[in-house]
């Protein structure tokens, strides 16, 4: 369950699995329509030589990585028995919606051989694979796989410019995992020119290689809204060469990194490659229309029949934080515009959204007992406003902030200022940031306080005294009452409480790392530092020290993706890095570095961080990559660079 390589250009996004095979193919929005997902078999690469055939699978030795200076894969696939090696450089073109693969095929044998090389595609353009069509176009030697406005032009050629010499198009059976790819296993394809329904297709290439010699196959898939636009791009690539487009894409990433040159120059060289990789992972999950996807790894679908490919305002805001700190403005502005456009009329952000700005799926009800409630997490609204404050701090872009005052800042701040319980003088219950419990949580309370203060600063700057007075009063209510969430006997900030109809409180005394982080990051002015530290001491004693390999679980007895045997929960990269940030900020740099290195120890070979890792052996759990994990990694290393 991982995507060690995610390639993208903010419209077309391609996820490669741990064998370097295409498993996710999102177009035209990042993370929305997945035209090739892990529900099916995915795409394949095959070799026929010396009357033997093999698809790339677990029997091959593989190394799946990507370059630290450009979002281009670096993949090696070796079959020692068949004495064949494949080296792949894959990319999504920076200008056109093209997925390209340059594949170097090497004959490792001591004798000359003829190798037949096969590229298989399995797209599910329409729901359940119904009514897709694919046909061979003889004039230009390509396969077109399409339905409606989704057109995929598939092509490949050898180094001498000759197109594939075999092909087959047929039906794919989702139930049995049988399809046209089976036609390749005798080394000869049927050349069937058309099919409709659930479609897969195969291209075949014949390559003669001397002993130890190599040759290239260039392969590309063009995504477009119609066949003729796809053809224009296809002819352009044939004229230019795929290598030229790969080089152009590499240069475009180099230009993007220049925005952050001054910050990158201060980062320890030990961490510079993973910081740059993490930046590219965030960028690859960022749609050009502003949505930021939590993860494009679709394998999570097989666990709970839904994905992480949504825009959570919280995840998006955290993803933008390191980019803001490093000097980027285009991506944060697009995200804040997205939030402005999706904000509810009452001033709150919904649970999550699709990248086309439609409301996403949810498991939050609108009623608790006999009470009607909002199905929201208030921290998501608050974090967007807080991050606008960070954007202004780093950019001093007063004009942009002013444009959002009436449409985003004011309605959101008015909502937060009104969403209170008079019995506690603290914010009314909403779902916690882990999306599980409906309560007034320490994390959300502390974050709401800071978000209101940011709104006050904007109101004063733009001379709206009535707004400033109202929001300042709400922030003061929190400041005067937040310590109700601290349990003196336990010695830590509790998870939160639920206010009953008779005004009694049901305290949730679970020890949660988010309570510590909320107080540390957002409650500095209203929470005594010693209480933050005591909360961390409890976390170290009750959570971290009871995890066999270290790392911070979210909270006591977290059952999400529970390990076997169960511990207290699985460590998360996010929570582990939060604690590293605290140590670095307090001057205990070595402790912070140890936690950074622990997190990196349990990354994939490519540097991709999952959401969680197994507490017994460190293997990745849940989606990989998780954008939030990479955002916290960059933030932590930026903190480290400032401490030296």
Mean pLDDT for 425-429 is: 98
Question: Helix, strand, or coil here: 243?
Answer: helix
**488-530: per-residue pLDDT in tens?**
999 999 999 999 999 999 999 999 999 999 999 999 899 999 9
| pLDDT tens column, 359-371 | 999 999 999 888 8
pLDDT of residue 248: 98
Q: Tokens 């601290």 — which residue?
A: 486
- Per-residue pLDDT, averaged over 73-92, amounts to 98
Report how far apart, in Å, the C-alpha atoms of 300 and of each of 20, 24, 43, 559, 634 are.
18, 12, 18, 16, 25
> Which SS3 state, helix, strand or coil, does residue 100 take?
strand
**CA 590 to chain CA centroid, nearest Å:** 29
- Tell how far CA 37 is from the center of its chain: 16
Helix, strand, coil percentages (3-state) for the chain, rounded to 5, are 35, 25, 35
Structure confidence at residue 180 (pLDDT): 93
Burial of residue 323 (CB within 10 Å: 0-12, 13-18, 19+) is buried
Q: Which CATH architecture has domain 364-530?
A: Alpha/alpha barrel (1.50)
Going by pLDDT thresholds of 50, 70 and 90, the confidence category of residue 644 is confident
What pLDDT is recorded for position 127? 63
| pLDDT at 37 exceeding the cut of 90 | no
Three-state SS letters, 144-172? EEEECCEEEEEEEEECCCCECCEEEEEEC
Please state the rounded mean pLDDT for residues 327-350. Answer: 98
The angle formed by the CA atoms of residues 579, 580 and 586, to the nearest 5 degrees, is 90
Work out the angle at residue 139's Cα, subtended by the Cα atoms of residues 136 and 141, and round it to the nearest 5 degrees. Answer: 50
Please report the pLDDT score of residue 40 as a whole number.
Answer: 64
- Residue whose C-alpha is closest to residue 298's, from 82, 552, 622, 629: 622
Quote the CA–CA distance of 504 and 489 in Å, as a whole number. Answer: 20
Write down the domain spans for the chain: 43-256, 364-530
| Closest residue by Cα to residue 454 from 486, 491, 408 | 408
Residue 305 has pLDDT above 70, yes or no: no
* The domain defined by 43-256 carries CATH number 2.70.98.10: yes
pLDDT value of residue 302: 59
Residues contacting residue 343 through CB under 8 Å, at least 6 positions apart? 349, 407, 408, 411, 412
The CA distance from 32 to 308, in Å, is 10
Helix (H) or strand (E) holding 92: strand 84-92
Q: Where are the alpha helices (DSSP H) in 307-419?
A: 313-325, 330-342, 378-395, 398-404, 410-418
Average confidence score pLDDT of the chain: 95
Specify the pLDDT at position 126: 74
Residue 237's closest CA among 302, 138, 163? 163
Local structure of 586: helix, strand or coil: coil
- 146/264 Cα distance (integer angstroms): 43
pLDDT of residue 130: 64
Q: What pLDDT digit, counting tens, does each position of 224-262 carry?
A: 999 999 999 999 999 999 999 999 999 999 999 999 999
Task: Express as a percent the part of the chain with pLDDT over 90.
Answer: 91
Under DSSP, is residue 479 helix (H, G, I), strand (E, B) or coil? helix
As to burial, measured by CB atoms within 10 angstroms (0-12 exposed, 13-18 middle, 19+ buried), residue 74 is middle
pLDDT for 271 beyond 90:
yes
The confidence band for 101, taking pLDDT boundaries of 50, 70 and 90, is: very high
Residue 40 CB partners (closer than 8 Å, separation 6+): 122, 124, 129, 172, 174, 177
Task: Name the nearest CA neighbour of 448 among 471, 470, 466.
Answer: 471
Alpha carbon dihedral 155, 156, 160, 161, in 10-degree steps, equals: 10
Give the number of C-alpha atoms closer than 13 A to the C-alpha of residue 26, restricted to the C-beta side.
30
């Amino acid at each position: 369950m991982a995507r060690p390589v995610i390639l993208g250009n903010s419209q077309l996004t391609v996820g490669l699995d741990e064998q370097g095979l295409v498993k996710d193919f999102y177009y035209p929005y990042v993370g929305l329509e997945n035209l090739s997902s892990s529900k099916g078999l995915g795409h394949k690469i095959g070799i026929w030589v010396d009357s033997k055939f093999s698809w790339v699978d677990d029997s091959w030795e593989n190394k799946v990585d990507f370059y630290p200076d450009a979002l281009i894969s670096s993949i090696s696939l070796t079959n020692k028995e068949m004495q064949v090696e494949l080296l792949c450089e894959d990319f999504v073109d920076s200008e056109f919606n093209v997925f390209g693969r340059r594949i170097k095929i090497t004959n490792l044998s001591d004798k000359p051989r003829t190798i037949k090389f096969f590229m298989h595609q399995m797209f599910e353009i329409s729901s359940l694979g119904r009514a897709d069509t694919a046909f061979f176009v003889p004039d230009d030697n390509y396969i077109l796989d399409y339905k409606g406005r989704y057109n995929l032009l598939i092509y490949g050629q050898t180094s001498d410019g000759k197109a594939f010499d075999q092909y087959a198009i047929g039906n794919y059976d989702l139930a049995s995992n049988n399809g046209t790819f089976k036609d390749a296993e005798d080394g000869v394809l049927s050349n069937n020119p058309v099919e409709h329904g659930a479609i897969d297709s195969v291209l075949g290439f014949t390559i003669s290689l001397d002993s130890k010699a190599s040759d290239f196959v260039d392969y590309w898939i063009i995504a477009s809204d119609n066949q003729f636009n796809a053809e224009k791009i296809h002819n352009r690539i044939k004229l230019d060469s795929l290598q030229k487009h790969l080089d152009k894409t590499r240069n475009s990433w180099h230009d993007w990194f220049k925005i952050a040159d001054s910050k990158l120059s201060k980062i320890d060289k030990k961490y510079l490659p993973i910081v740059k990789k993490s930046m590219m992972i965030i960028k690859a999950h960022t749609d050009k229309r502003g949505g930021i996807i939590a993860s494009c790894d679709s394998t999570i679908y097989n666990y709970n029949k839904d994905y992480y490919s949504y825009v959570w305002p919280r995840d998006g805001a955290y993803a933008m934080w390191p980019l803001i700190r490093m000097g980027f403005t285009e991506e944060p502005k697009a995200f804040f515009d997205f939030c402005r456009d999706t904000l509810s009329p009452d001033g709150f952000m919904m649970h999550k959204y699709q990248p086309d700005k439609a409301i996403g799926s949810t498991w939050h009800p609108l009623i608790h007992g006999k009470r009607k409630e909002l199905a929201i997490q208030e921290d998501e609204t608050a974090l967007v406003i807080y991050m606008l404050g960070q954007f202004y701090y780093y950019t001093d872009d007063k004009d942009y902030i002013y444009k959002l005052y009436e449409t985003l800042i004011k309605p959101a701040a008015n909502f937060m200022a009104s969403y209170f319980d008079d019995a506690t003088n603290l914010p009314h219950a909403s779902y916690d940031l882990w999306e599980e419990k409906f309560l007034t949580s320490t994390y959300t309370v502390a974050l709401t306080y800071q978000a209101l203060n940011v709104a006050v600063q904007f109101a004063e700057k733009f001379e709206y005294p009535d707004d400033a007075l109202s929001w300042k009063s709400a922030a003061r209510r929190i400041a005067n009452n937040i310590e109700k969430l601290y349990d003196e006997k336990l010695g830590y900030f509790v998870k939160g409480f639920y206010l009953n109809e008779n005004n009694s409180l049901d305290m949730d005394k679970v020890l949660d790392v988010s309570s510590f982080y909320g107080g540390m990051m957002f409650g500095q002015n209203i929470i005594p530092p010693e209480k933050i530290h005591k909360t961390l001491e409890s976390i170290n004693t009750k959570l971290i020290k009871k995890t066999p390999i270290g790392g911070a679980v979210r909270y006591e007895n977290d059952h999400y993706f529970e390990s076997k045997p169960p511990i207290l929960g699985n460590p998360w990269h996010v929570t582990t890095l939060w604690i590293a940030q605290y140590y670095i900020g307090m001057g205990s740099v070595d402790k912070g570095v140890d936690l950074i290195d622990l997190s990196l120890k349990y990354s994939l070979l490519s540097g991709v961080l999952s959401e969680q890792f197994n507490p017994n052996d460190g293997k990745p759990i849940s989606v990989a990559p998780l954008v939030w994990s990479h955002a916290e990694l960059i933030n932590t290393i930026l903190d480290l660079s400032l401490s030296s």
